[in-house]
Amino acid sequence: MDYEVGQIVKLKKKHPCGSQEWEILRVGADFRLKCLGCGHQIMIARKLVEKNTKGLRDKIPKVQA
């Protein structure tokens, strides 16, 4: 899979806040992910992200009124 900054990744395990979706903030040997439920940010090894990815989608752009 190709991971890019701004994409939303769904992981197998839930975060303690209950969310499974994370926004990718940084891509490299390590990933920086931001939980979409509570906003908590983590650094995690690429290997773990690739292993635990359940789904991947593009970020939904915000609509301005």
User: Which class for 33: exposed (0-12), middle (13-18), buried (19 or more C-beta within 10 A)?
Assistant: buried
β-bridge mates for residue 26, sequence order: 32
pLDDT string in tens for the chain (65-residue length): 789 999 999 999 999 999 999 999 999 999 999 999 999 999 999 999 999 999 998 877 766 66
- Give me the residue spans of the domains in the chain: 8-57
Quote the pTM value. 0.84
Question: Residue 46, Cβ neighbours under 10 Å: how many?
Answer: 13
